Amino acid sequence: MEKADTIVSIRDLDKTYKNGFSALKRVSLDIRRGEILALLGPNGAGKTTMIGIVTGLLNATGGTVTVDGMDIVRDARKIRPRIGLVPQELYTDAFETVWATVSFSRGLFGKPANPAHIEKVLRDLSLWDKRNNKLLSLSGGMKRRVLIAKALSHEPAILFLDEPTAGVDVELRHDMWRMVRRLRENGVTIILTTHYIEEAEDMADRIAVINHGEIVLVEEKATLMRQLGKKELHVQLSMPLMFIPPELAEFQLSLADEGKTLVYTYDTRQEQGGSGGIALFLKRLGQSQIEFSDLKSKESSLEEIFVNLVKEPA
């Protein structure tokens, strides 16, 4: 049974391509109304395939997807207008103007014309001055903006962004994230895939990780970072060390900065479990008469957590 706050419910989704390749294997995932969910995974993990199925571009070979309780295949006509997709590439008529392309997009979803909305979208994306330009005359970054404008033209409640910031400049990236935040404030549910993990770290409420066609993890970002994160304590030594003192051998230690820094790595979970960890380490450090001038602690980033999750066994 799906929960009340679920907007998209994916159940046992399978996709086997014609060549026999199995790109999704019984994927189940609930997307919550109003959240920003970041879908992370290495190249070829199945992210675009999953988005393609939910947005109606691809057929699944098994499983179901419901949006607001309606089946995406059976109730496609009702569901399509609720969904927007910013794909990786622009497939559109190069000779059309920005205004015509974006207005036409809205019509495709059966929504009545709304020039005021189209104007707002174009202004928000700094495309207003270019509204009469033909698409072929636009720079790559401007074309990206058109893709987003098209996806927003029919005021979708759910927006999928597939690698929206791959290869875009800093300015456009910042504009996009401002826009995504504003959409979320207006209640739009957002699912994004990205290779820039710091973006997911910045933007997402929850993180789903997909690898080899399977969801390997779905978690609140904050919980994920707390549970899987490792912490490091950097101890700046008054005198450099040549080797780790044997009396500290029980701790996971390394030397950095030409022996001037002793790095103690510990698991935040262990620390919560209260197995002694850092307190014991500091006590032993004191007993060993190693003098230090400073202590700094550092948490692992989502990037480090992610790399650990999807790394292939050696």
Question: Does 19 help bind ligand ATP (rule: CB under 6 A)?
Answer: yes
Question: Does 23 help bind ligand ATP (rule: CB under 6 A)?
Answer: yes
Site string for ligand ATP, 267-296 (x = CB under 6 A): ------------------------------
- E-strand stretches of 102-241: 158-162, 189-193, 206-211, 214-220, 230-237
Using CB under 6 A, pick the residue from 9, 38, 46, 215 that binds ligand ATP.
46
Using CB under 6 A, pick the residue from 9, 13, 40, 47 that binds ligand ATP.
47
| Residue nearer to ligand ATP on the CB measure, 6 or 48 | 48
| Residue nearer to ligand ATP on the CB measure, 19 or 289 | 19
Give the DSSP H or E segment for 8: strand 6-16
Q: Are 248 and 241 in contact, with CB atoms under 8 Å apart?
A: no
Q: Is 250 helix (H, G, I), strand (E, B) or coil?
A: coil
Using CB under 6 A, pick the residue from 2, 12, 21, 198 that binds ligand ATP.
21
Minimum distance, C-beta of residue 50 to ligand ATP, in the bound complex (Å) = 7
DSSP label of 97: B
Dihedral over Cα of 73, 2, 33, 301: its sign? negative
Using CB under 6 A, pick the residue from 44, 69, 107, 115 that binds ligand ATP.
44
Question: Does 95 help bind ligand ATP (rule: CB under 6 A)?
Answer: no
Question: Does 29 help bind ligand ATP (rule: CB under 6 A)?
Answer: no
Give the DSSP H or E segment for 85: strand 83-86
| Residue nearer to ligand ATP on the CB measure, 30 or 214 | 214
Question: Does 207 help bind ligand ATP (rule: CB under 6 A)?
Answer: no
Q: In what order do the strands lie in the sheet with 158-162?
A: 83-86, 158-162, 189-193, 36-40, 206-211, 214-220
Minimum distance, C-beta of residue 118 to ligand ATP, in the bound complex (Å) = 30
Using CB under 6 A, pick the residue from 2, 12, 17, 296 that binds ligand ATP.
17
Q: Is 76 helix (H, G, I), strand (E, B) or coil?
A: helix
Minimum distance, C-beta of residue 20 to ligand ATP, in the bound complex (Å) = 8
Q: 262: buried, middle or exposed (CB in 10 Å: 19+, 13-18, 0-12)? A: buried
Give the DSSP H or E segment for 86: strand 83-86
Q: Where are the alpha helices (DSSP H) in 153-276?
A: 170-185, 197-203, 221-228, 268-273
Q: What is the distance between the alpha carbons of residues 292 and 208, in angstroms, rounded to a whole number?
A: 41
Q: Are 306 and 254 in contact, with CB atoms under 8 Å apart?
A: no
Stretch that binds ligand ATP, among 45-53, 167-175, 215-223, 267-275 (CB under 6 A): 45-53
Give the DSSP H or E segment for 267: strand 261-267
What one-letter code names the amino acid at 85?
Answer: L
Site string for ligand ATP, 156-195 (x = CB under 6 A): ----------------------------------------
Question: Does 312 help bind ligand ATP (rule: CB under 6 A)?
Answer: no
| Residue nearer to ligand ATP on the CB measure, 119 or 214 | 214
| Residue nearer to ligand ATP on the CB measure, 263 or 310 | 310
Using CB under 6 A, pick the residue from 4, 43, 91, 187 that binds ligand ATP.
43
Dihedral over Cα of 264, 265, 271, 274: its sign? negative
Binding site for ligand ATP (CB under 6 A): 17, 19, 21, 23, 41, 43-49
